[in-house]
Structure 1
Amino acid sequence: MFDKVIVGSEEWCSFPGLGIPAIKARVDSGAKTSALHAININPFLKDGESWVKFDINPIQNNTKTIIHCEAPLIDKRIVKSSSGYREKRYVIKANLQVGDTMWEVEVTLTNRDSMGFRMLLGREAMSGRLLVDPEQKYLLGQPTTEKLKEYYSTNDEPKKGLRIGLLASNPELYSNRRIMEAGELRGHEMHFLNLKYCYMKLDAETPEIHYRGGRVLNDFDAIIPRIRPSMTFYGCALTRHFEALKVYSLNSAAAISQSRDKLFSLQLLLNSGIDIPTTGFANSPLDTNDLIKMVGGSPLIVKLLEGTQGKGVVLAETKKAAESVINAFKSLNANILVQEFIKEANGKDIRCFVIDGKVVASIQREALPGEFRANIHLGGTASVIKATPEEKRIAIKATKAMGLKVAGVDIIRSSKGPLLLEVNSSPGLEGIEGATNKDIAGEMILAIEKNFKI
């Protein structure tokens, strides 16, 4: 027992291997695990092993001082905070120094902006090494203000690159990781902004966007919205607020909103002279027979207006099946589209990736044998294909009709010529980058740079 170091309820410590020379910790024997403040948390592979990189503001209420860290990733765990909030966190191992003693500890990474300390030292890390005197503080000393300035001095170099926020939900998603990497490779300061952690202050004089813990996000140059369908309403509201703060958005909130409205988007496309599969829409189930006849009879496709990326899509192979499906949806007061089935497409479609008015890549997607396809892509294989001039023209025209800068445009080849199926405002990158070996994420960053004439 007498070999243990006595510490107070608050102590200064350091993580030499992470490049953190001083950080104030709350010593809490009531907490099982230790936690370190971290933002912009991104997993990556290094020599075939899982690592994670993250940024830390080591001094409370100081967001200008940033340390860029990376460490081997050892685990992901669900951790329950003192407020009862359950969160999946990345876990790393790092050497912790407290006074003259240094040992390896496990630390979870989380945003601690709302907490009073950037570091929480839990009992697992203290076991066998420390004793806590809760009435005391800084028994092992604390750095002076001058020492902290020396530790975290900056060279006041002129700003290089842009401050770009990726507004999304899942930092582990391939597309999001690639965009973060592409921005960093081009010298920009990239921040992953989880939609759920953002909130807004609506005020005529001082409108603001805050991040969990109260960090103000008004100082971004640009944002890249990648909003999952279930978060469309809130994600577009946040994007509009960024736009009101004069932050450039790669895709505007208005463009995202109308591209997510199936019926409205089809009407916009038709008004622009773009052909689509014949589609019907009705509110009353009394007109089911004429609705089926309108799109050429069975087989036909029934799509929920609220459905996305293949969800809420039914292939009705017979007239009787079509009547049953349509009436079932209508009985639930669900809005649906009825669309002709393009049999000759044979389970294939073309995805054209459009950035800033140019088709930068295109692939053909084909369903696996026996897989259900209903004029949409549900999976399968992807291969490089050269889109025809007409298909490129349609893709570019459709993207402009939606008001989007970046879009994945899905086209199906029919006996009537190419028909447009859907315009996706948050297209995935994995399939198209994997098939074409093109740096699509880098092209997205270039589109932002053009707006700033970098």
Structure 2
Amino acid sequence: MLDKVIVGSEEWCAFPELNIPTIKARVDSGAKTSALHAINIVPFVKNEEDWVKFDVNPIQSNTRTVIHCEAPLVDKRIVKSSSGYREKRYVIKSEIKVGELSWDVELTLTNRDSMGFRMLLGREAMSGRILVDPEQKYLLGQPTAEKLKEYYEKNEEVRTGLRIGLLASNPELYSNKRIMEAGEARGHEMHFLNLKYCYMKLDADTPEIHYRGGRVLNDFDAVIPRIRPSMTFYGCALTRHFEALKVYCLNSATAITQSRDKLYSLQLLLNNGIDIPTTGFANSPLDTNDLIKMVGGSPLIVKLLEGTQGKGVVLAETKKAAESVINAFKSLNANILVQEFIKEADGKDIRLFVIDGKVVASIQREALPGEFRANIHLGGTASIIKATVEERRIAIKAAKAMNLKVAGVDIIRSAKGPLLLEVNSSPGLEGIEGATEKDIAAEMIRAIEKNFKMVR
């Protein structure tokens, strides 16, 4: 006990290996693990080992002072906060220096904007080394105002690129990681904005978007919405609010909303002279037989209107099977489409990636042997293909009809010619980048650069 150092409930510490010369910490024996404030957390591989890079704003309520850090990844761990919220966090190990004392500690990385301190020192890190006097503060000293000012000014970033937010749900998704990397490579300040952590202030004079902990997001130049289907309503509400704040959105909320409505999007495409497989829609199951005849009989496809990317899609190979599936869905009050099955496509479709009115890449997708493809991509392999002039024209026209700056347009080759299947407002990058070896993420960032100048 005599060998232990007595510290106060608040102390200044440093992390030499992370180039953090000073940061104020809350010393809390009630917390098991230690936590460091971190944003823009991105895992990567270095020398065949897992690492993580992240940014630290060491001063509370100051986003201009930024330290770029990277460290070997020790673990990914579920941590329960004092408010009961459970979160998966990256864990690193780094040397900490408190006064003249230094040792290695494990740190979980998390956004601590909502907390009073950028650093939390938990009991696992204190064990065997320090004792806490909760009535005291800064027993091991604190930097002078002059030192802090010198340090702050040295680490204040001068913005040269755009401040771009990626509005999505999963920072570890290949597409999201690639977009973050591409933006940073082109000199922009990239921020991953988790949909669930955003909330809005609707006010005629001072509308705002806030992030977990109260951070205001009104100072973004552009936002890239990549909204998962289950979050369409809330994600589009956030996108509309960014648009109201004059933040340039790569895809607008209106365009995303209509692309997610299968029936409306097909009607919109037809109104713009774009051919689709013959499709039927009905509210009542009493006319099932005529509905089946309408699309050419069996086999046929049954699609849930709320489904997407292959989910909620059934191939009915016989008339009896079609009647059973349609009636089963109708008994659940589910809205469905029935669609002719394009047999001659032989389990293949074409994905054309459209950015800012141009087809930047195209691939052919083919089902694995034994799988069926219900006029929609369900998996399998992807290979590079040269799309025809007509297919490129259809893809560009479809994206324009939906008013999408970024779109994945799916086309199927039939005996009647190319038919449009679906327009995706958040197309994945992994398959098309892997097959074509093109930097699609960089093309998306270039579209922002071009259009940002136009809207300004």
Do the two structures share a fold, i.e. TM-score over 0.5? yes
**In 1: Cα distance, 2:401 partner to 2:165 partner:** 26
- Cα separation, partners in 2 of 1:336 and 1:237, compared to 1, 3 Å: same
**In 2: Cα distance, 1:117 partner to 1:281 partner:** 57
Matched, 1:421 2:438: no
Which residue of structure 2 lines up, in the alignment, with residue 75 of structure 1? 75
Q: 1:452 Cα shift? A: 3.0
Q: 1:156 Cα shift? A: 7.0
**In 1: Cα distance, 2:420 partner to 2:294 partner:** 19
Q: Aligned partner of 2:21: which letter?
A: P
**In 2: Cα distance, 1:128 partner to 1:159 partner:** 44
Matched, 1:23 2:16: no
Which residue of structure 1 lines up, in the alignment, with residue 101 of structure 2? 101
Which residue of structure 2 lines up, in the alignment, with residue 268 of structure 1? 268
Which residue of structure 2 lines up, in the alignment, with residue 200 of structure 1? 200
**In 2: Cα distance, 1:326 partner to 1:121 partner:** 59
Q: Deviations over 1:353-407 (max 9, x none)?
A: 0000000000000010112310110111000000000000000000000000000
Which residue of structure 1 lines up, in the alignment, with residue 41 of structure 2? 41
Which residue of structure 1 lines up, in the alignment, with residue 13 of structure 2? 13
**In 1: Cα distance, 2:216 partner to 2:83 partner:** 23
Q: Aligned partner of 2:295: which letter?
A: V
Q: 1:23 Cα shift? A: 0.7
**In 1: Cα distance, 2:60 partner to 2:32 partner:** 23
Which residue of structure 2 lines up, in the alignment, with residue 342 of structure 1? 342
Q: 1:71 Cα shift? A: 1.0
Which residue of structure 1 lines up, in the alignment, with residue 219 of structure 2? 219
Q: Deviations over 1:284-308 (max 9, x none)?
A: 0001000000000000000000011
Q: Aligned partner of 2:357: which letter?
A: G
TM-score (norm 1): 0.98
Which residue of structure 1 lines up, in the alignment, with residue 2 of structure 2? 2
**In 2: Cα distance, 1:254 partner to 1:453 partner:** 22
DSSP 3-state at the match of 1:410? strand
Contact 2:96 2:104 (8 Å CA) reproduced: yes
Q: How does 1:15-164 map to 2 (within 5 A)?
A: 15-154=15-154, 159-164=159-164
Q: Deviations over 1:113-154 (max 9, x none)?
A: 111111110111111111111121110011122211111214
**In 2: Cα distance, 1:171 partner to 1:105 partner:** 25
Q: Aligned partner of 1:96: which letter?
A: I
Matched, 1:248 2:278: no
- Cα separation, partners in 2 of 1:109 and 1:158, compared to 1, 3 Å: closer
**In 1: Cα distance, 2:194 partner to 2:155 partner:** 30
Which residue of structure 2 lines up, in the alignment, with residue 293 of structure 1? 293
TM-score (norm 2): 0.98
**In 2: Cα distance, 1:8 partner to 1:413 partner:** 72
DSSP 3-state at the match of 1:128? coil
- Taking only the aligned residue pairs, the percentage that are identical comes to 88
Q: Aligned partner of 1:305: which letter?
A: L
DSSP 3-state at the match of 2:132? strand
Structure 1 unaligned spans of 5+:
none
Q: 1:80 Cα shift? A: 0.5
403-412 or 4-13, larger mean C-alpha shift? 4-13
Which residue of structure 1 lines up, in the alignment, with residue 238 of structure 2? 238
- Cα separation, partners in 2 of 1:171 and 1:155, compared to 1, 3 Å: closer
Contact 2:285 2:330 (8 Å CA) reproduced: yes
Q: 1:453 Cα shift? A: 3.8
Q: 1:157 Cα shift? A: 7.2
Q: Deviations over 1:24-51 (max 9, x none)?
A: 1111111111001111111111222211
Q: 1:155 Cα shift? A: 7.8
Q: 1:158 Cα shift? A: 5.2
Q: Deviations over 1:312-340 (max 9, x none)?
A: 11100000000000001001110000000
Q: Aligned partner of 2:445: which letter?
A: I
Contact 2:65 2:155 (8 Å CA) reproduced: no
Contact 2:276 2:419 (8 Å CA) reproduced: yes
Q: How does 1:306-325 map to 2 (within 5 A)?
A: 306-325=306-325
Q: Aligned partner of 1:445: which letter?
A: I
Q: Aligned partner of 2:217: which letter?
A: L
Q: Aligned partner of 2:247: which letter?
A: V
150-159 or 115-124, larger mean C-alpha shift? 150-159
DSSP 3-state at the match of 2:263? helix
**In 2: Cα distance, 1:82 partner to 1:144 partner:** 32
**In 2: Cα distance, 1:159 partner to 1:377 partner:** 42
Q: Aligned partner of 2:426: which letter?
A: S
Q: Aligned partner of 1:278: which letter?
A: T
Aligned length: 454
Structure 2 unaligned spans of 5+:
none
DSSP 3-state at the match of 1:153? helix
Which residue of structure 1 lines up, in the alignment, with residue 328 of structure 2? 328
Which residue of structure 2 lines up, in the alignment, with residue 375 of structure 1? 375
Contact 2:66 2:156 (8 Å CA) reproduced: no
Contact 2:65 2:156 (8 Å CA) reproduced: no
- Cα separation, partners in 2 of 1:145 and 1:249, compared to 1, 3 Å: same
